[in-house]
Amino acid sequence: MRAWEELQKLVGYRFREESLLQQALTHRSAGVQHNERLEFLGDAALNFVVAAKLYAHFPKVSEGDLSRMRARLVREETLAEIAGKVALADFLILGPGEMRSGGARRDSIRADALEAVIGAAFLDGGFAAAERIVTQLVEPLMTEHLGGAELRDPKTRLQEYLQGRGRSLPVYTLVAEKGPAHERHFVARCSVPGASPTEAEDASRRKAEQQAAAQMLEQLQVVPHV
- Do 21 and 8 touch, CB atoms closer than 8 A? yes
- The full set of domain ranges for the chain reads 2-147, 152-219
Q: Is the pLDDT of residue 31 over 90?
A: no
Active site residue 43: yes
- pTM of the predicted structure, to 2 decimals: 0.67
- Lowest mean pLDDT across 63-67, 100-104, 111-115, 219-223: 219-223
Of the CATH numbers 3.40.50.10320, 1.40.20.10, 1.10.10.10, 1.10.1520.10, which one belongs to the domain with range 2-147?
1.10.1520.10
Give mean pLDDT, residues 58-68: 81
Question: What is the Cα–Cα distance from 109 to 118, expressed in whole angstroms?
Answer: 14
The 10s digit of each residue's pLDDT in 82-133 is 999 999 989 999 998 888 888 788 888 999 999 999 999 999 999 999 999 9
Which among 43, 65, 124, 209 is annotated as catalytic?
43
Which among 65, 115, 124, 131 is annotated as catalytic?
115
- Percent of the chain topping pLDDT 70: 92
Mean pLDDT score across all residues of the chain = 88
Q: Which fold has domain 152-219?
A: Double Stranded RNA Binding Domain (3.30.160)
Question: What is the Cα–Cα distance from 48 to 25, expressed in whole angstroms?
Answer: 22
The 10s digit of each residue's pLDDT in 169-214 is 999 999 999 988 778 899 999 999 999 999 999 988 988 999 999 8
Question: What is the Cα–Cα distance from 205 to 184, expressed in whole angstroms?
Answer: 9
- Can you say whether the dihedral through the CA atoms of 149, 153, 154, 160 is positive or negative? negative
- Please compute, for residue 16, the number of CA atoms within 13 A of its CA located in the half-sphere on the CB side: 6
